[in-house]
Structure 1
Amino acid sequence: MSQRRTSAEIEQTRTALAAAARRIVRRSGAKSLTMRALAREANCAVGLPYKVFANRDELILQLVVEELVRLSKEFDEWVSSAGRHTVGENLDRFASILLDADSPAVLGANDIDDAVISQRLRSAASASGMPATLDAAVAEYLRGEQLLGRVRTDVNPEAFGFLITGAVHNLVAAEEQYPRPSREKLRAYLQSCADALAPDAPQ
């Protein structure tokens, strides 16, 4: 008779399997993540993943939640960069968080076709702060720069937060039909935004 796993052992198994799942998604994309592929990657019995995850969608949900929480913390830290580096460099860093984020499961979340899991995903995303973080982070950052005199006082932080976030997010979601500009060109675009936001130089 097999001994029941303790809650600590179950959590340890979930953590190990989630790490193996992230390796698969990073290497081959979310579509390649199956419970059988996970068992091969983790070098465990095929039935083990089903003992800690109800199905593939619940596994993806855990990966997405972990990524959202981490990204939310990165944006919170980025907001505090007001006054350090240049405004253009900070906007480029904002773009880098989204474009270079190690969050492949987020992009694969659209493949989830379980209505209950999808609702749990929306609730988890809301709890992580990510939906509000994107627009609000840029707006809050720009308000900080306004207080420091590095962004004009007549600039509407919410409007530019919406526009900058929308432009960068579009590059994250865009397919090959809408290729990204080079990082050098994107950096130049963001520097142009920073120049337009800067106070007029004293005469």
Structure 2
Amino acid sequence: MSPAKRSTETTLQLRSSLIEHARRLIARDGAAALTMRALATEAGYSVGLPYKIFTDRREIVAAIVHIEVEKLRATCDELVERAGTATVAGNLMWFAEAFLDSPAVALTEELLSDKALRQSVTATAHDAGMSPGALPVVLSRYLAAEKQADRVAPHIDEHAFGFLIAGALHNLLVAGEAWPRPARPELEQILTATAAAIAVAR
């Protein structure tokens, strides 16, 4: 007698569970640690189960990055909504950490080297309104909102600073062993100095 067919709901639950465990595995041990066997162990499932939900590791990676693209879009929206609250430096640091702490960052090298995977993720990013040009636009909108809140000086070119901050974050995104990222205190110091440079004189 053949085993009962797994329901669509159960399959979706297993898929979601495996993706979440894959995210945790990458965050803790790095992208290279993500194998189908390691994922099964991490999630407490049989070794063969991930293969019943996903075709291969590439499909898991694509699923993770697609989710992260949606999360980044929500983070961008929230950044603009934060204008006028907390501090400009604190908001920029919050955004930088949300951006750089994404599991997708650990997968950057793989995305750049795998053409099919890169094309899939690029299509998802464009559909979500998160094309490469979106980051400077979002940061410019945030700085413009802070200008309206009288926390960024009127003479500041928000488009120029938005582009510069976005470029810095993008460079940190692709940083590796040869060019390591600054430690969090150093990054916070850099963003605090940036915020001070564009602040309204009191």
TM-score class normalised by the smaller sequence: 0.7 to 0.9
Distance 1:191 1:23, change over 3 A: closer
CA–CA separation in structure 1 for the residues paired with 2:129 and 2:48:
34
Question: After the TM superposition, which of the residue ranges 106-115 and 144-153 deviates more from structure 2?
Answer: 106-115
Which residue identity is paired with 1:89? G
Which residue of structure 2 aligns with residue 110 of structure 1? 109
* Aligned position for 2:164: 163
1:7-22 correspondence to structure 2 within 5 Å? 7-22=8-23
Q: Which residue of 1 aligns with 2:63?
A: 62
Pairing 1:1-203 to 2, within 5 Å after superposition: 1-99=2-100, 101=101, 103-112=102-111, 115-131=115-131, 132-201=133-202
Seq. identity, %: 40
Cα distance in 2 between the residues matched to 1:91 and 1:20: 29
After superposition, what is the alpha-carbon deviation per residue over 1:140-188, rounded to whole angstroms, capped at 9, x for unaligned? 0111122223223332222111101111332232223333334333333
Conserved in 2, the CA contact under 8 Å of 1:75 and 1:133? no
Secondary structure, in 3 states, of the residue corresponding to 2:121? helix
Can you give the 5+ residue segments of structure 2 that lack an aligned partner in the other structure?
none
Runs of 5+ unmatched residues, structure 1: none
Alpha-carbon distance change, 184 to 49 in structure 1, aligned in 2, over 3 angstroms: closer
Q: What is the deviation of 1:14?
A: 0.8
Q: Which amino acid aligns with 2:136?
A: D
Cα 1:154–1:62 change in 2 (3 A) is same
Letter in 2 for 1:65: H
Contact kept in structure 2, 1:39 and 1:46, CA below 8 Å: yes
Q: CA deviation at 1:86?
A: 2.7
Q: Is the 8 A contact 1:60 1:109 kept in 2?
A: no
Distance in 1 (CA, whole Å) between partners of 2:26 and 2:182 is 25
